[in-house]
Structure 1
Amino acid sequence: MSEFHGWPDAGVRRLPQHIYTDRDNFQRELDKIFFANSWNYVALSCEVPEPGDYILSSVGNVGVIVSRDRKGAIRVFVNRCTHRGARLCEKRKGNNKLFTCPYHEWRFNLEGRLVGVPLSQGVKGKGGMSAQFDPQNHGLKQLNVCERHGVVFASFSNDMVPLETYLGPKVLRYFDRVCDGRPLKVIGKHKHVVAGNWKLQIENVKDTVHAAILHSFFTLFGIWRSDQETEIVVEDKGMHSVLASTATFSKQQTHSEEVDSEFSLLDPSLIAHEAEFSHATGAVMTIWPNLIFLQQLNCLVMRHVEPVSQDKCVKTWTFFAYEDEDPALTARRVKQANLLGASGLVTIDDNEILASCQVGLQQQSQFECAIEYGEGTSDCDHMVSESAIRGFYNYYRQVMEL
């Protein structure tokens, strides 16, 4: 066991190296964040439209089954048989009348109750379950579930505030801006490994500064620039934040002679978009602890970051559209999903730089990251600020008791 490291005197303007590299700190995060009082994104409800439909997801590093029961309610179970702990479901999605363990074929109904135990009476009057065994005490572990406008969250805690209170009015306004009650449909999924601590990924989308520096594609074609109209919104406790910006396409979405006239898009439709919302062509929400809710141009996606270890996470992208929208708009979303997704012209930059950060952080103990852009932990109207990152760590320190 490693010793407790504490926190720098400079507060959230300094982030200690050990929160990204220490194995015990990672386990403490699971216990105090993911398995405690957090609403964790798990799925879109349209992914399980019919009774018996299920998909696999995760809360922290625990695999869960998101399913719809016989009465149409969404339930979230730990993907673990209550007998010996084997995984119940291996396929990513499917439809079941019962969840059957492959080890001893214990069977659970869609409400999670244990309804079948092979050889429970033994064979020829010998053996079987003990007199103390009660099937009612061996149902699947269920999580607390809430849903808003087709987005499903789950928690190990039964003492949770309503999601609307959890998000707060400032972030809820942006959430409802995209998920406004219209039926949703999934148009694609990506999944990939990031060789870095899960918090690096969350910080990355709270960081307005890097987007106009690291992502030359964004800058070159006017999608995200430092001089754009920008709003950084930080929830009062620092838990969640929104980065909203309005693109300035200087050359009608083809190329930017101000940056470098050599470059242009052979297919300008890659970034062509139609205005869907009242302001901002891009809004990136980070919802505590590990959901990135992205609206960029016409691309809509839930980016779910699964913490695997102190130096690795897995990110699942669920791209979606509105059920009744124009097929041409859906086609545009699909194209932009490939632009912005796991192997697109932006995320590949992040994947490489976050892996580089993880290597650098592991090289030497007692290093402290300097989070000095801008002031405070509150809202601001420009891009050159790390206020959303500082807000996140204000809340992190509170929850982690650091």
Structure 2
Amino acid sequence: MKINDIPVRTATAPDPLDHFKWPNADYTRTPYRVFTDEAIHEREMQRIFQGPTWNYLALEAEIPEPGSYKTVQVGNMPVVVSRNQQGEVKAFVNRCAHRGATVVRQEFGKADNHPCIYHQWNYDSAGSLCGVPYRRGLNGNGGYPADFKPGQHGLQRLNIALYKGLIFGSFSDDAPDLIEYLGPNVVMHLDRIFIKPVKILGYHRQRISANWKLYFENIKDPYHAGLLHTFMATFGVYRSTQRGNTLLSPGGGHAVVYSVTNTDDTASVVEAYKGTTNKYQDDFALSDPALLQWTPDFHDGIGNLIISVFPNMVVHQILNTLATRQVRPLGTGAMELYWTYFGFEDDAAEQTAARLRQLNLVGPAGYISMEDGEAIRLVQQSVAGERDATSFIEMGGRGPIVDADHVVTEVCTRGFWQQYARTMGFEPEAS
């Protein structure tokens, strides 16, 4: 079909992605095409971020009072998370219902209402339209039709679910109950972290020239950390020689990975790092050992814990530093990582100072995280334009995607791809 010689795809035309299937059933191969294909990216925005999933938005502590708000991003959608005047948490799309302009332009704030700068359409703290200039015209001229109803022109709202001070939003009415969605392993470890009211310590924003899914591959791959990060291996913040566990949600999309500090010894470390290049340096020392002084908040010996929730949330505990991370796609080849650091309301000043000092471990210039960003950038760079090749994901074995009682495994990465393929309609053909 053509209009003025321009090809137009009809409503009944098949989607070419309907023929795209995962290459194998145990997700030990990932097509590099998923990191670069624009059509796949568009489907992700619709089926994942606007589909029946729960997206992490913010911490309740970030919007403590009626009228408090924060601007965030869900997939490619700008969103405001806010407390209305009754103190209820709400979230709405940050795009004027009139002509599409961004309404709320500040990252944080407190306001009873939000006027759009363009034509002054005014919205309340729940996103409802509460004021329209010249609604009945001016001096007998103009005005909206008699059947114009402000109640029909509010900002698009998200469904909200709260857990332990975490705010989740969904565009879909078909999203499951949040506790069911998270699964028992994630819930157990969120309960462990969020044991009392939190206070916000600060933020980082990190732009990475890589597809958002490469970050999830990285964060769900525990054994890379002891190989990529010289700092972690040398000073024992994390090593694969430490005792740990790898736990998945029922669908595989969420994971908990942790290690127990001081559960290895020098001999086992030296043996494990034979043949690696400069990853364990037994003659290195810190100029300021206070950086790694650790006063445990919890009494289970866990010094490094990563909780990842499909499709956009990470929660970490690294020694005394605590944070959430929100993953924000920026097209096929870039993403933003938004870090929110927190402590507990009853922390003494010395404990807060220790948490702030340990922020140097992570963030865009951290001793650890800087290397993750570069590693996934190198992957994005080398797979650009690739349509047929796949990755090889067999550390820990093939077959069932199940929990492991160690951290030398890529099973969480395979679980992520399983959840991704199911959500996207890319499940492999039945054998």
Common fold: TM-score over 0.5? yes
**AA aligned opposite 2:184:** P
Aligned pair partner of 2:230 in 207, 210, 216: 216
C-alpha separation between the residues in 1 aligned to 2:63 and 2:179?
23
C-alpha separation between the residues in 2 aligned to 1:286 and 1:50?
28
How many angstroms does 1:3 deviate by?
A: 4.3
Q: Which residue of structure 2 lines up, in the alignment, with residue 354 of structure 1?
A: 376
Q: Which residue of structure 2 lines up, in the alignment, with residue 16 of structure 1?
A: 31
Do structure 1's residue 388 and structure 2's residue 388 form an aligned pair?
Answer: no
The more displaced of 209-218 and 122-131 is 122-131
How many angstroms does 1:383 deviate by?
A: 1.8
Q: Which residue of structure 1 lines up, in the alignment, with residue 51 of structure 2?
A: 36
Q: Which residue of structure 2 lines up, in the alignment, with residue 133 of structure 1?
A: 148
Q: Can you list the C-alpha shifts for 1:41-83, whole angstroms capped at 9, x where unaligned?
A: 0101111111111111111111111111111011101001110
Q: How many residues are matched?
A: 397
Q: Give the direction of change, closer, same or farther, for the CA distance of 1:10–1:77 in structure 2 (3 Å limit).
A: closer
C-alpha separation between the residues in 2 aligned to 1:109 and 1:384?
51
Q: Which residue of structure 2 lines up, in the alignment, with residue 274 of structure 1?
A: 295
Q: Which residue of structure 2 lines up, in the alignment, with residue 310 of structure 1?
A: 332
Do structure 1's residue 242 and structure 2's residue 266 form an aligned pair?
Answer: no
Q: Can you list the C-alpha shifts for 1:152-171, whole angstroms capped at 9, x where unaligned?
A: 11010123322211111121
**AA aligned opposite 1:301:** A
Name the SS of the counterpart of 1:369 in structure 2. Answer: coil
* Structure 2 residue ranges without an equivalent (≥5): 1-8, 10-14, 274-279, 427-431
C-alpha separation between the residues in 1 aligned to 2:417 and 2:124?
41
C-alpha separation between the residues in 1 aligned to 2:286 and 2:227?
20
Aligned pair partner of 1:296 in 318, 322, 336: 318
Verify the 8 A CA contact 2:362 2:370 in the aligned structure 1: no
Calculate the TM-score normalised by the size of structure 2.
Answer: 0.89
Q: What value does the CA root-mean-square deviation take over the aligned residues?
A: 1.8
Q: What percent of counterpart residues are identical?
A: 37
Name the SS of the counterpart of 2:126 in structure 1. Answer: coil
Stretches (4+) displaced over 4 A: 249-252
Q: Give the direction of change, closer, same or farther, for the CA distance of 1:57–1:356 in structure 2 (3 Å limit).
A: same
C-alpha separation between the residues in 2 aligned to 1:144 and 1:99?
20
Do structure 1's residue 160 and structure 2's residue 150 form an aligned pair?
Answer: no
C-alpha separation between the residues in 2 aligned to 1:46 and 1:11?
40
How many angstroms does 1:377 deviate by?
A: 1.2
Q: Which residue of structure 1 lines up, in the alignment, with residue 12 of structure 2?
A: none
**AA aligned opposite 1:336:** Q
Verify the 8 A CA contact 1:202 1:292 in the aligned structure 2: no
Name the SS of the counterpart of 1:217 in structure 2. Answer: helix
Q: Which residue of structure 1 lines up, in the alignment, with residue 78 of structure 2?
A: 63
Q: Can you list the C-alpha shifts for 1:20-59, whole angstroms capped at 9, x where unaligned?
A: 1101001111111110111100101111111111111111
How many angstroms does 1:249 deviate by?
A: 8.3
Name the SS of the counterpart of 1:352 in structure 2. Answer: helix
* Structure 1 residue ranges without an equivalent (≥5): none
Aligned pair partner of 1:46 in 61, 66, 69: 61
Verify the 8 A CA contact 2:325 2:340 in the aligned structure 1: yes
Q: Can you list the C-alpha shifts for 1:77-117, whole angstroms capped at 9, x where unaligned?
A: 10011101100011111111211000000111123221111
C-alpha separation between the residues in 2 aligned to 1:149 and 1:89?
27
Do structure 1's residue 109 and structure 2's residue 124 form an aligned pair?
Answer: yes
